[in-house]
Chain A
Amino acid sequence: MFKYILRRLIQAVPLLFIISFILFLLLQATGDPVSSMGGRMPPAEADRARLRIALGLDQPPLAQYFVWLVGNDWMRYDTDGDKVADATFCPLPNVICVSLDSNDDGVIDPVGTRRGVIRGDFGTSLATRRPAIDMITERLPNTLLLMVTAQIIIVVISLFVGVMSALKQYSIWDNALTTFSFVMYSVPVFLMAYILSYIFAYQFRRWGLPYLPTNGMYDPLVGPTFGEVLRHMILPVTTISLISIAGYSRFIRSAMLEVINADYIRTARSKGIAERRILFVHAFKNASLPFVTLIGLDLPFLLAGAVVTESIFAWPGMGWLYIEQLKRSDFPVMMGILMMIAVAVVIFQILTDVVYSLLDPRIRFD
C-alpha cells in the first residue's frame, strides 16, 4: 500500500507540472490585467505600459511562466566576463529569455524577489499587491466551513433518501422523492438561491416573520458569534444542499437497487439473516463503492468553493475570490487556486483508492 501511494505521488509530479503549464498559458488569454485595474475606466495608456513593466507582464508568456515556477531572485550571470550582469537571462535560448532590463535603459533591474512556486512563492496578486497564497489561505477556512457543512448534510440526507427510495421502490414515498429530486436537480443554482432568498429573507420580513440574512458570514455590528454565523449559513448551505442531494440520492437509489436484487443478497435472505443486517452490512457496503468514487471526485472541489452561491450570498470564500480575480485577470491568485485544486484532486484520488481497498477486500494494491 505504501509503495502504491508513493508511486502515485511520484507520478503526480510531472502531471502537476504539465497542468500548471497549460493553465498558465490558458489564463494568459483571459484578459489584460492592467486593462482597467478594477476601475470604471482604463488607466491612461502610458500608465498601463509602465504598470505592465512593473508587474512583469511585459515578458513573453513562457518567460512569465518560468519566473512563476522558479522565481527570479537568482537570475544573474555574466557571460562575457565584463563583470556586469547580462541584460537577458536565457535558460533556454530562443525559447525562454527573461529580460533583466525591463525598461531598456541599459541599467539592469535590481535583483528580483520572486522565489517561484517550487519554493512556495505563488507570486503577488496583480490586483491587491498581496501574496497570492495569503489571499487564498485566508478564504479557505470560510469555504471549508460552508462546503464541508453542506457536504455532510448532502451525504447524510441523500444516503437516507436514496436508500429509502430503493427499499420502497415505486411506493408513494419513492415517487414523491423521485419527483422532488428531478425538480431540484433541474433548478439552476442561482435560481434556487434567489428563490430561497426571496422567500426567507425578503418576504418573511414583509410578513413580519423572523427572516434570514442574505449576505456575509455574520453581521459586523453583532460579531462572529456561533448563532450569527449559523444564521448566515442557512441560505447558502440550503442552496448547495438541495441541488446536490437530488443528484446524490438518485445515484444511491440506483446503486442500492442493483445490489439488493443481487444473488448474494437473495442467498443471505434464504439463510435467514436479519433484514437489517442484510441491508446495512451486505447490501449497503457494496452499494457504497460507486458512492465513494463520486464523493472522492467531488471532495477536492469543496476547496474551490461554490462560485455562484458564494457570490450571491456574499460568502467570503474561494469561489467568490476566484470570480473576482478572474474579472481582474489576476492570474497569480487564479493559478494558486487552480493548482491547489489540482493537488487536491491527486490526493483525493489516492485516498479514494485506499478507501476502496478498505471497503472491498478483493482490492489489493501491492
Chain B
Amino acid sequence: MVLVSPSFAQGKAATVSWPQEPDNLNPMYSTMTFAGYTTQLFLAGAWVFDGEGSPIPQLASEIPSLENGGLSEDGKTVTLRLVEGLTWSDGDALDSADFVFTAEMKLAESNSVITRAPYDSAVSIEAPDATTVVLTFDEPYAPWLGLFSYVLPEHVLRPVFEADGSLNEAAFNRAPSASSGAYVFQEWNVGNFVSFVANPAFVSGAPIIERLVVTFIPDEQTYKTALLNGDAQMGTFLPFSDVPELRDAGLDVQVIASGYNEGMYFNVGEGSHPAMKDVNVRKALALGFDRFGVVNDLLLGGTFAAASFNENTPYASPNLDPVPYDAEAAAALLDEAGWVDGDGDGIREKDGENLTLRFVTNTRGIRVDIQALAQQQWGQIGIEVLLENYPSDQFFASFSDGGPIAIGAYDIAQWSASPASFPDPDTTRFDCDQIPSTENPTGGNWTYYCNEELSALLTQQRFTTDFAARVALWHQIDEIIYNDSIWVGVWYDADVWISGNGLITGPLNGVTPFFDVANWDVQ
C-alpha cells in the first residue's frame, strides 16, 4: 500500500512536512519559522541565499555592490535594480512600486506587524522608475542583505488597505491570490495541509515538480515515522539524535547553518549572584561543563561544540576553540577567586555566602537533561546549582511582564539564539545601552553585561558596509565575548533537514531553503 504517490495524476508532486502549522501566510504578520519557509514558496525576494550561504539575485537583476553602484560609497544608499518584465502569477506587472508598497505596509501604524525592521531605519524608499528601488539611510547601513526578503503585491493589497484601514485581517493572509515565487497558492485545508501548484511566471522558470503539498505533524515521533515511511518526502527540525537512524534508512540528511547556536548566558547584573560579576567564576563555569559530552552522548555526534556566537560563519573568530572540559582548572579558578569550601559541606563559599547559582531555561527536553548534567558537573567543583524551568512564553517574557531572563532573575540561562537578520551578524544582545531597566524596558541585553569597548565595536560594525572590515570587527567582538565568558557556546545548533522517498533536492541553506526549489525533482 503506497500512501504517497510521487507522480500524481496532475504531474509530479511532492510532500513537505513541518512540525508546526503556519499561523499566517503574510510574512509581515508572522515570525514563525515554518510560516517563513512556506511563504518563500510563493513570495520571491530581491535575492536568496545559495547552498553556501552566498546571495544570488532573484527579483533583483544583480546583488548591490560598490562596483555596480548598488551600494553608495558612504554606505547610506542601497539601489536595487530589478529584472525587466517581472509579473505576478495573475499577470499583473511586478515592479518597484510593489517594493515601495511592501515597505509602506510594514511601516503603516495601523498594521500590527511583528517588526518594522529593517525599513524603520530608512530615511526614504523610492521608486524612480519601474525597475529601480532606492533606499536611503541616515547612517551607513551594513545589514542591507536583510532588505526585501519578500515583496507584497500592491495591486491585490492596496485596495484592501484602503478599504479596511489595515491588512491585519486581509484575505491574502490566508489565501494569497498572487504569487511571485516558484509556486502559486492553491488551498489551505486548516490543520491538514497547504497546497501549491507550479507558477509558470516564476522568474527562474516553472518548477519541475508541479504540485507541492505542505503537511503538518506536531508530534516528533510521528514526524520521524512519516519520513521513514515515505508519508513525507521532506522535513526538518528533528533532533540530532535522530540523524543516524534517518541516514541508515537511506534518507538524505543535511545539517545546515541557520545562525542558531545553543549557549549559556551568564548574568552579571544586580539580580545575579555576586560571584557572577567575577570573570574567573564565569570561566570556571565554562571550564567545568562538558559540552563535548553533550555533543557526543546526548546529540550522538550530530553536531559539534560551539565556540562562537557566530559559529560556522565568516564572522566567527578563527582564533577561538570550544571551551574544553577541565574541572581541575575550573576549581583552581574558583580558588583564585576566593570561593573555597571552608566548612566541608561540598559547596564553596566566600564572605559567608554560598556559591549557589540559579540555572534557568525553558522546558525543552534536551535542555532539562543538560541542566541535570551541569548540576552534577558543577557540583563536583563545589558549585551548588538550583534548576528552574519555564514554558517558553514565560521564559522569554519581556521585562515589563517580569520575564525571568529579561529582568535578570537568574545566574545562568540557556537557549539557542541567532542574529535577528541572519546571515547578517548584527545583534543587540551585548550593547551597554540595551540593558533593560524601568526606563529602558525594551532593552535586549539580558546578561546585563556592559563593556564599553565591546559596545563601541558593535556600533561600529553596524555602520561598516565593507565586508572584510566588518568581519575583522566581528572577530574582535567574538573574542571579547569569549574571553569575558558572557556567552559560552554549548553546541552549533544547525538545522537538520531530511529529504528522500523519491524527492531530489540540491543543497539547502537555513535562510532560504527553497532557493532552488524550481529545480527539485521526484523520481
Give the B-binding residues of A (Cβ under 8 A).
30-52, 54-55, 110, 124, 127-130, 135, 138-139, 142, 194, 197-198, 201-202, 205, 210-211, 213-222, 311-317, 320-321, 323-324, 327-329
Contacts and interface: CB of A to CB of B under 8 A. Distances in A.
A32 B31 contact: no
Given A42-B396, A215-B217, A327-B393, A128 B222 contact: no
B356 interface: no
A104 to B, nearest CB: 14
Given A45-B436, A45-B443, A312-B219, A35 B393 contact: yes
B430 to A, nearest CB: 15
Contacts of B211: 221
B23 interface: yes
Interface in B209-261: 211, 213, 215-219, 221-223, 225-226, 228-229, 231, 260
A41 B415 CA distance: 9
Interface residues of B, number: 73
Contacts of B195: 220
Given A215-B226, A220-B193, A45 B444 contact: yes
B204 interface: no
A44 B417 CA distance: 13
Nearest to A314: B217
A214 B226 contact: yes
Given A43-B31, A215-B217, A316-B190, A35 B392 contact: yes
A33 to B, nearest CB: 7
Contacts of A130: 169, 174
A201 B221 CA distance: 12
A218 B5 CA distance: 13
A172 B195 CA distance: 54
Given A38-B32, A41-B420, A219-B4, 5 more contacts: A38-B35, A44-B115, A216-B215, A221-B13, A329-B393
B190 A32 contact: no
B112 interface: yes
B31 A55 contact: no
8 contacts: A32-B397, A36-B392, A37-B30, A46-B442, A49-B400, A210-B1, A221-B213, A324-B218
A314 B398 contact: no
A129 B218 contact: no
B442 A45 contact: yes
A34 B20 CA distance: 18
B21 interface: yes
Contacts of B1: 210-211
Contacts of B228: 202
A170 B222 CA distance: 40
| In the A-B complex, the 9 residue pairs with the closest CB atoms | A316-B191, A31-B393, A45-B442, A39-B31, A54-B112, A32-B397, A38-B32, A210-B1, A42-B396
A266 to B, nearest CB: 53
A361 to B, nearest CB: 46
Given A129-B173, A201-B225, A43 B403 contact: no
A48 B15 contact: no
B391 interface: yes
A222 B418 CA distance: 39
Contact of A44 (B112, B165, B444): B444
Among A43, A44, A214, A215, the one with the most B-chain Cβ atoms within 10 Å of its Cβ is A215
A38 B21 CA distance: 10
Contacts of B21: 324
B225 A197 contact: yes
Contacts of A218: 192
Contact of B191 (A42, A129, A320, A323): A320
A220 B15 contact: yes
Contacts of A219: 3-4, 231
Contacts, number: 192
Given A36-B31, A44-B115, A49-B442, A31 B394 contact: yes
Contacts of B457: none
Among B3, B30, B221, the one with the most A-chain Cβ atoms within 10 Å of its Cβ is B3
Nearest to A129: B168
Nearest to B395: A35
Contact of B399 (A31, A39, A45, A135): A45
Nearest to B428: A44
B393 A202 contact: no
B189 interface: yes
A127 B416 CA distance: 22
A43 B441 contact: no
A273 B400 CA distance: 76
B117 A44 contact: yes
B442 A41 contact: no
Contact of A139 (B191, B260, B392, B396): B191
A314 B393 CA distance: 23
A150 to B, nearest CB: 18
Interface of B: 1, 3-5, 8, 13, 15, 17, 20-21, 23-24, 29-33, 35, 112, 114-117, 165, 168-169, 173-174, 189-193, 195, 211, 213, 215-219, 221-223, 225-226, 228-229, 231, 260, 391-401, 403, 406, 416-418, 420, 428, 436, 441-444
Nearest to B223: A215
Given A45-B398, A202-B225, A221 B5 contact: yes
Contacts of A324: 20-21, 218
Nearest to A103: B109
B217 A328 contact: no
Nearest to B191: A316
B418 A41 contact: yes
A214 B191 contact: no
Contacts of B396: 32, 35-36, 41-42
A52 B391 CA distance: 19
Nearest to A194: B221
B416 A40 contact: yes
A211 B174 CA distance: 34
Contact of B225 (A35, A37, A214): A214
A110 B109 CA distance: 12
Given A43-B31, A215-B222, A221-B15, A32 B416 contact: no
Contacts of B24: 128-129
A48 B436 CA distance: 14
B401 A32 contact: yes
Given A129-B169, A311-B218, A48 B392 contact: no
Given A35-B393, A129-B24, A314-B216, A214 B32 contact: no
Contacts of A43: 31, 114-115
Contacts of B5: 221-222
A323 B21 CA distance: 12
Contacts of A49: 398, 400, 441-442
Contacts of A135: 190
Contacts of B213: 220-221
A197 B220 CA distance: 13
A46 B30 CA distance: 16
Contacts of A37: 30-32, 114
Contacts of A216: 192-193, 215, 217
B33 A40 contact: yes
Contacts of B226: 214-215
B450 to A, nearest CB: 17
B191 A317 contact: yes
Contacts of B189: 220
Contact of B115 (A31, A47, A312): A47
A223 to B, nearest CB: 10
A195 to B, nearest CB: 11
A194 B220 CA distance: 11
B229 A201 contact: yes
Contact of B398 (A32, A139, A317): A32
Given A38-B30, A202-B225, A221-B213, A48 B442 contact: yes
B33 A220 contact: no
B396 to A, nearest CB: 4
Contacts of B217: 215-216, 314
Contacts of B391: 30-31, 327
